[in-house]
Structure 1
Amino acid sequence: MVKTPADKWKDTVIKYRKQCQKILQVSNSVRYAGVVNAYGRTLTGMIKPNLKPLLQSEDFKNELFVISTLISLRKDSVSSVGKLEHVILQHQKITILILQKNNVTYYVSLNRKEKDLENIVSSIKKAI
């Protein structure tokens, strides 16, 4: 049986969702894991149970748009500086980890107090 484009899309989203679940299991410090397309639209995302989101819905959409714009603009410099490995944004309350793979962006928020960030980044890269 031939898969329709809708079936292929559904399978892709399920794959991303499973990856987000793996990311959430990497550490207790992981608050949120999501996958965003090149236009800043969330393909899937999940917050750790019993946690309250820090951003309102519209603020979060704006955050993802800014991140996707940053990633898109960086594509032109890949030949000069190399492929982007990851981005870490340190805020007063949380740390944001941004990874890119296969034209999608993984957006992960972590508790700010996490001390072993390097190992978490490595584990998340293996999960995706």
Structure 2
Amino acid sequence: MSGKIYDYAKICNSVLSLDSKIRFAGVINERGRLVAGGMKENVEPLENEKDDEMIFMELALRVKMRKEFDKQLGPVNFAMASRERALAISVIINDDILYVVSEPDTDYGVLPKKIIEIIHS
């Protein structure tokens, strides 16, 4: 996927409109900084801004660590974490990460595929 230019704002807006249960769609760079997107309007954040920064940096580090196994297993298509209060999905776009957070009861069998379709459309 490297080299292709993506409209990150458009991708984030499309993802936010996919499902009413999606709370956040943002693109995080390899240094853990939010470069596009954000929280859906009128949605109360589950964490504060400082926690967001830590989550984004930890996510960027986790993605880098997963790349260590690309040769043996192939590149990661997406990663998902199901938590008590949220479902988090990360998808690699070039060297950046599309990070999506939704309500925990979102259909996790369908949502990642829809997100990937948006990226590649």
Structure 1 length as normaliser, TM-score?
Answer: 0.85
1:46 positional shift:
2.1
What is aligned with 2:104? 112
* Deviation of 1:91 (Å): 1.1
Note the alpha carbon deviations across 1:79-106, whole angstroms, 9 max, x for none.
Answer: 0111101111111111100111211101
Q: Does 1:93 align with 2:85?
A: yes
SS of the residue aligned with 1:112? coil
Aligned residues: 115
Partner of residue 112, structure 2:
121
The residue identity in structure 2 corresponding to 1:127 is I
The root-mean-square deviation of aligned C-alpha atoms, in Å, is 1.3
Q: Which amino acid aligns with 2:15?
A: I
More helix by share: 1
- Write the distance in 2 (CA, Å) between the matches of 1:69 and 1:77: 14
Q: Structure 2: 5+ residue runs without aligned partners? A: none
Measure, in 2, the Cα distance between the counterparts of 1:125 and 1:27: 14
* Aligned counterpart, 2:45: 53
Structure 1: tracts of 5 or more residues without a match = 1-11
1:25 aligns with 2:21: no
* Aligned mates of 1:47, 1:60 — CA distance in 2: 11
* In the alignment, structure 1 residue 78 sits paired with structure 2 residue 75: no
| Corresponding residue SS for 1:21 | helix
The runs of at least 4 consecutive aligned structure 1 residues that moved more than 2 Å come to: none
State the identity as a percent: 23
Q: TM-score, normalised by structure 2?
A: 0.89
Per-residue CA deviation, residues 25-63 of structure 1 (Å, 9 max, x unaligned), is: 111111100001111011112211110111101111000
